[in-house]
Amino acid sequence: MPDHKQGTTETTSTEGSIGKVDGLSTSDTNRLSSLFAGSPIHSGEMTREQIRNFFKTAVLSGVINDGGHTFGKHDTSFSDSPNIDDVETGGEGLPASPHVPNPVSPGVGSNNAADQAAAPEGFGTKRSDVPGSGAGSKLQPSESSSAVSAQDIDNLTYGKGS
């Protein structure tokens, strides 16, 4: 099977309108462009190939930094993925197991996760296989993440997993 190259969408400039009950509506291209005027895509500063390369470097293998707003720095290659056996579990806001959060309420009058008791014995500890072929859920996240992040989107074959 030949390699598949995912293209970008070529849009048709349209005026906004509400379609018939059984028809399609259209978006207002000019209004959308004005809402996202700072986007290099709408300003014509980025070519199709530049958009593709940006996605590969910034999204597939980059480090996203939200400036401490929520997560701080996040490596999209997941190179810091843990080994299941190293995930600390228990009460006080920790997960019940490496697979599920702790379902125990912190108690009456509290919404502080530090007040949680440990989850019931054995809760969320039985692993199940994911559907399909391959190692699936038997791999450690650190192993599967490094294998996936080493792939190059340009070398993937349509319909074939790596």
Mind listing the pLDDT tens digit for each residue in 93-114?
999 998 899 999 999 999 999 9
pLDDT of residue 2: 47
Burial of 119: CB neighbours in 10 Å, binned 0-12, 13-18, 19+:
buried
Residue-range domain boundaries for the chain: 16-45, 86-125
Whole-angstrom Cα distance, residue 48 to residue 46? 7
pLDDT of residue 1: 44
Whole-angstrom Cα distance, residue 60 to residue 1? 24
pLDDT of residue 137: 64
Whole-angstrom Cα distance, residue 50 to residue 91? 47
Stronger pLDDT, 129 or 143, i.e. the higher one: 143
- Ramachandran sector of residue 59 (left: φ over 0; alpha: ψ -120 to 50; beta: rest): alpha
Whole-prediction pTM value?
Answer: 0.48
pLDDT of residue 89: 93
List C-alpha distances in Å: 36 to 29, 30, 31, 39, 72: 11, 10, 9, 6, 25
pLDDT of residue 98: 87
Mind listing the pLDDT tens digit for each residue in 26-39?
889 888 888 988 88
Asked if residue 144 lies in contact with residue 72, where contact means CB atoms within 8 angstroms, the answer is no
Q: For a pLDDT cut of 90, what percent of the chain falls above it? A: 19
Q: Mean pLDDT across the stretch 48-61?
A: 83
H or E stretch including 74? strand 73-75
Closest by Cα among 117, 125, 129, 119 to 85: 125
pLDDT of residue 127: 74
pLDDT of residue 73: 87
Q: Is the pLDDT at 135 greater than 80, yes or no?
A: no
